[in-house]
Amino acid sequence: MPVNLLPPSPGALLPIKGVALGTAETGIRQPAREDLLVIHLSAHCRVAGVFTRNRFCAAPVIVSQAHLEKGRPIRALVINAGNANAGTGEPGLADARGTCAAVAALLHCRAEQVLPFSTGVIMEPLPLERLIAGLPQCVAGMREDGWAAAAEAILTTDIVAKGASRQVSIGGKTVTVTGIAKGSGMIHPNMATLLAFIATDAAISQPLLDEMLGDAAQRSFNCITVDGDTSTNDSYMLLATGEAGNAEIDDAASADFAALRDAVTELSIALAQAIVRDGEGATKFITLRITGGANEAECRQVAYAIAHSPLVKTAFFASDPNLGRILAAIGNAGIVDLDAGRLRLHLDDVLVAENGGRAAGYREADGQRIMAQAEITVRVELGRGDAAATVWTCDFSHDYIRINAEYRS
């Protein structure tokens, strides 16, 4: 039951010149469902990527990073759903490299020009033969308007496909940005436990593409959490084919850079929020806005302490204004010199707590009214400085337990 989230409407995902997508059904994820995607890139496409910081990162993450480091133009991405190829040791690395080699053979490029991505169950061998058997169908069906099918093919426990497009004018040329993402559980920043692929036809230098990706990640996928678990496979890729015809963006201070960066960031935020809205078992979409911190890091600490508290998350699920749990979570955030007496807590526009306790004007009925909403903003003023941070999360429901208890059955 995603919270106010619909799949992209037909035609909403705009093609990107120089990016073709093809999908296939391998049976790895489940019968009668496409679960394999090849994204083919034009010859001069630039690619930037950020990856999970989980120390047990998956074989495809290791191989993708190694292939990016070789510096050759990347010609294809291959993504499978249903098996994460993580916790698979040396055989897993061989499988990821074998996947790349098979794609390369079909597309007449080198294996190190292919980046592999996987999502699904951890610590089970990748069914390499079935994956490879699906590749010819992907390649045969590649087309520039294949984004909608691609958004479906990468899903695991997601209920709704996630994708969006933006257009912006750069140097008199219309530039398009289209992105898709998947992720529903194991969602926590660094990287935000997900796969996201955003492509643009803009021409932009490699350093600025890297910078743009880092900025956008910090403001989008690194601001969400479903359950505090960081996946072994998170990857967020930004692809720029340069085929829009604009003069290459190579000045970080330029209006063109700002326009493209804003479009990419805005689209990334939309995808990141879509992941939270489709969080496993989610019934509420919660915005945590922390202000008045001494620095941004402590604001994020407070936000995540609230977002990761199972007691707070179950109270949201129950629509129960048991708001002392939020105060307790803030007290646990690890800010040693926090002065509880200076803190103010709002639910939407309702002042709930100040001066170390319940606000004088607070009425349970007001808290009840806000808690019953599907979208709620929790505002915490720390009273320590001028820094702020925003984090998006969801509640914790019976369905989260059901989904994760039955994940493999």
Task: List 387's β-bridge partners, or say none.
Answer: 293
> Is position 113 an interface residue for a copy of itself (rule: CB under 8 A)?
no
CA 62/CA 92 separation, integer angstroms: 10
- 171: DSSP letter: T
Binder of a copy of itself out of 54, 80, 99, 291 (CB under 8 A) = 54
Shorter beta-carbon distance to a copy of itself: residue 91 or 207? 91
Among 109-117, 170-178, 207-215, 307-315, which window interacts with a copy of itself (CB under 8 A)? 307-315
CA 64/CA 360 separation, integer angstroms: 56
CA 109/CA 54 separation, integer angstroms: 30
Among 13-21, 67-75, 288-296, 325-333, which window interacts with a copy of itself (CB under 8 A)? 325-333
Shortest CA distance to 126 belongs to which of 144, 148, 99? 99
> Is position 400 an interface residue for a copy of itself (rule: CB under 8 A)?
yes
Which amino acid, 192? A
Alpha helices in 116-224 (DSSP H): 128-140, 147-153, 206-219
8 phi/psi in degrees, rounded to 5? -60, 135
Shortest CA distance to 240 belongs to which of 218, 273, 207, 191? 207
> Is position 407 an interface residue for a copy of itself (rule: CB under 8 A)?
yes
Shortest CA distance to 279 belongs to which of 345, 244, 229? 229
Nearest-approach distance from CB 270 to a copy of itself, in angstroms: 26
> Is position 335 an interface residue for a copy of itself (rule: CB under 8 A)?
yes
> Is position 300 an interface residue for a copy of itself (rule: CB under 8 A)?
no
Which of positions 356-385 make contact with a copy of itself (CB under 8 A)? 356-358
> Is position 191 an interface residue for a copy of itself (rule: CB under 8 A)?
no
CA 285/CA 310 separation, integer angstroms: 15
Sheet with 46-51: list strands edge to edge: 46-51, 235-240, 195-200, 173-182, 162-170
> Is position 65 an interface residue for a copy of itself (rule: CB under 8 A)?
no
Nearest-approach distance from CB 229 to a copy of itself, in angstroms: 5
> Is position 192 an interface residue for a copy of itself (rule: CB under 8 A)?
no
Positions annotated as catalytic residues are 193
Among 10-18, 104-112, 255-263, 392-400, which window interacts with a copy of itself (CB under 8 A)? 392-400
Shorter beta-carbon distance to a copy of itself: residue 328 or 388? 328
The answer to whether the CB of 233 falls within 8 A of the CB of 118 is yes
> Is position 404 an interface residue for a copy of itself (rule: CB under 8 A)?
yes
Is 399 strand, coil or helix? helix
> Is position 195 an interface residue for a copy of itself (rule: CB under 8 A)?
no
CA 272/CA 264 separation, integer angstroms: 12
Count of C-beta atoms within a 10 Å radius of residue 396: 27
Shorter beta-carbon distance to a copy of itself: residue 84 or 194? 84
Among 68-76, 196-204, 225-233, 239-247, which window interacts with a copy of itself (CB under 8 A)? 225-233
331 phi/psi in degrees, rounded to 5? -65, -20
Nearest-approach distance from CB 218 to a copy of itself, in angstroms: 19
Nearest-approach distance from CB 292 to a copy of itself, in angstroms: 15
Among 103-111, 284-292, 319-327, 368-376, which window interacts with a copy of itself (CB under 8 A)? 319-327
Which residues of the chain form contacts with a copy of itself (CB under 8 A)?
A: 54-57, 84, 86-92, 121-125, 185-186, 188, 227-232, 308-311, 314-315, 317-318, 320, 322-325, 327-333, 335-336, 338, 340-341, 353, 355-358, 396-398, 400-402, 404-409
